[in-house]
Chain A
């Protein structure tokens, strides 16, 4: 279906398909993308060894102005990544926005979570240089849960002539977890592995069930802040963002534990000079997880990347990336996965290169290749027979937007 839609779009010249500007102050826009993902060594996000075309997104959004200060908007998203998503239609974001002045306003509804420079734009492939954002900070397996929250944010922009420009956001809300998500199913698998280990232990805890059939997670709160500073140096942005959340975990409707993000911060830098763009971010996510009164993890991870893009022409750009992730900042040796599985390489060092070609304002073609050392962030859920330390993945993707 996705391929048919893209083929239909290909038949339509950009000039004949303007974004639909309805009378006065309403705009309808959208996008569709179709990708191909392949990997060797390990399955990544799907059964990707051997390749998969189950990798697409379709979005439609409506934006409207009520007056110069008050607007509304929403975006429906349908996506498929391997066996997940299944092109069901979901609300990606939807909000009302009241801007009092440039220095202050508020948004209410389902609002994107502004952690790092790029979390808010994850669903729109054509907005970024590579197909995959750096996984250390923008972990694709958490995309469904860490994309938007129901709540609100206060925001504003303050220009101080002697210093520069400050963009701030303060947000508070709740995350709703979907059952049809990689995150849900991998959590269920991990819990059942823990329960199976208990059954096989010399002195098993008799109060624990042998397994559970379903799990759920209820978010009690999410709050945080983001500040992006643009100094007088041209095309330089410096950012800091921070968030905290608390969840309660359920197994077959009974409370079995909790997950708390004590502090998740990201420091960001973006600089453009002529046809070069440099992005670098560093983050730590200090989290605590308990299951059946046992702390399965407690401490910060460590993430950072450097990404350099070069626009060879106005349409063609090349990008190189180095992305590094450590599951436990304070213990960089072997470790035990949340499922209880021993992991001899709990890091992820990803070297990647990519190319982007903008055929015109509406069509974008991208390709990239990654070579990875380490198995952190890989889900054993997709790799039941174990993982390999050195592995590769690559993708190509075609996107259309109007």
Chain B
């Protein structure tokens, strides 16, 4: 039985689009609980996650961690970086493969990010608001 070309095309398109629709999570920036900052501009956050700003105002090195949970990552890229997830992924790979730097650490989910932030002074990451607890501190994007 021959499958009409249009149906084949639509099936292919559905396959390509499969898994692209996701619900937006409420994503917040988090820092070590001893961090004296309570807020940050979106621009400054963008520069930190693009590795262009690597020092807090007091001069301490910023330890950045990227949350690879697809839903959280997608929301963070679009809301904070104003980039597509693929653009930010390629940006980080460019650092590695062109010799211009080492990209931020990547962790799989909120729990890992939270554990890293709680254990590392001067660190910053992002996760779902629902995952926030007293081990880390929210950094409000102003």
B61 at the interface (CB under 8 A from A): yes
Nearest residue, chain A, Cβ from B89 = A361
Which of A69, A124, A165, A232 interacts with B97 by CB under 8 Å?
A: A124
Interface of chain B residues 65 through 121 with chain A (CB within 8 A): 74, 82-87, 89-90, 93-94, 96-102
B61 touches A68 (CB 8 A): yes
Complex interface bits, B34-66 against A, C-beta within 8 A gives 1, otherwise 0: 000000000100010000111100000100000
A71 touches B102 (CB 8 A): yes
| Contact A63 to B102, CB < 8 A, known contacts A127-B97, A315-B20 | yes
Neighbouring B residues of A120 by C-beta, 8 Å:
94, 98-100
Complex interface bits, A39-73 against B, C-beta within 8 A gives 1, otherwise 0: 00000000000000000000101010100110101
Which of A29, A61, A65, A102 interacts with B52 by CB under 8 Å?
A: A102
| Contact A63 to B52, CB < 8 A, known contacts A311-B86, A313-B20, A314-B86 | no
Neighbouring B residues of A95 by C-beta, 8 Å:
99
B10 at the interface (CB under 8 A from A): no
A157 to B50 alpha-carbon distance, docked (Å): 11
A315 touches B102 (CB 8 A): no
B16 at the interface (CB under 8 A from A): yes
> Mostly helix, strand, loop or mixed at chain A's interface?
strand
B99 touches A93 (CB 8 A): yes
A144 at the interface (CB under 8 A from B): no
A31 to B93 alpha-carbon distance, docked (Å): 11
Which of A61, A68, A232 interacts with B96 by CB under 8 Å?
A: A61
A311 to B37 alpha-carbon distance, docked (Å): 36
A310 to B20 alpha-carbon distance, docked (Å): 15
B98 touches A275 (CB 8 A): no
A165 touches B52 (CB 8 A): yes
A199 at the interface (CB under 8 A from B): no
A124 to B95 alpha-carbon distance, docked (Å): 11
A214 at the interface (CB under 8 A from B): no
B20 touches A63 (CB 8 A): no
CB distance from B24 to the nearest CB of A (A): 14
A159 touches B52 (CB 8 A): yes
B100 touches A401 (CB 8 A): no
B84 touches A124 (CB 8 A): no
A27 to B20 alpha-carbon distance, docked (Å): 30
Nearest residue, chain B, Cβ from A129 = B90
Which of B84, B99, B102 interacts with A75 by CB under 8 Å?
A: B99
A277 to B84 alpha-carbon distance, docked (Å): 10
A127 to B92 alpha-carbon distance, docked (Å): 10
A330 at the interface (CB under 8 A from B): no
- Extra contacts besides A124-B94, A313-B17, A314-B86 (20): CB < 8 Å: A31-B97, A61-B99, A71-B102, A75-B97, A75-B99, A95-B99, A97-B101, A124-B93, A126-B90, A127-B94, A157-B53, A159-B53, A234-B82, A235-B82, A272-B84, A277-B87, A314-B20, A316-B17, A317-B86, A401-B93
Can you list the 10 inter-chain pairs with the closest CB atoms, starting with the nearest? A68-B61, A124-B97, A120-B98, A93-B99, A313-B20, A157-B52, A234-B82, A63-B102, A121-B98, A316-B16
B residues near A (Cβ < 8 Å) are 16-17, 20, 43, 47, 52-55, 61, 74, 82-87, 89-90, 93-94, 96-102
Q: List 9 A-B contacts (CB under 8 A).
A: A27-B96, A59-B97, A69-B61, A97-B99, A102-B52, A124-B94, A235-B82, A313-B17, A315-B16
